[in-house]
Amino acid sequence: MMGHVLKKMAGTHFAKNIADASWNQFRQYLTYKAEEAGRKLGLVNPAYTSQICSQCGHLEPKKLTDRMHKCSQCGYVADRDFNAAQNILALGLDGLGVIPRSLRL
């Protein structure tokens, strides 16, 4: 019975609120642990990070099913997730003032 209720609830606005609250609680926990360890937590908006070339900044639109990043500007080829990870790292370091590089998202 409970499984049926949870499946029905998964597609509702209520479920989105629960997910948002969970991410917020997780972020608060990470912030607390980072401060406790004398570290900083940088938050990054991941929008378009898999579509922007991490080498030259060119926006290379792709479908979710496209698993490789192939830049038509500079020729850089990498796994889509690896390219996104490089962009997220650069944005995070830039947000912390470590590297003066910012992607225009």
Chain segment 69-78, per-residue pLDDT in tens: 999 999 999 9
Delimit the domains of the chain by residue range: 1-39, 42-105
The CA distance from 76 to 74, in Å, is 6
Chain segment 19-70, per-residue pLDDT in tens: 778 888 999 999 999 999 999 888 899 999 999 999 999 999 999 999 999 9
Rg, the chain, Cα only: 18
Position 15 scores a pLDDT of 75
Question: What are the CA-CA distances from residue 4 to residues 1, 10, 12, 20 (Å)?
Answer: 5, 10, 14, 22
Burial of 44: CB neighbours in 10 Å, binned 0-12, 13-18, 19+: middle
Q: pTM score, two decimals?
A: 0.69
Helical packing angle, 13-36 and 2-10, nearest 10°: 90
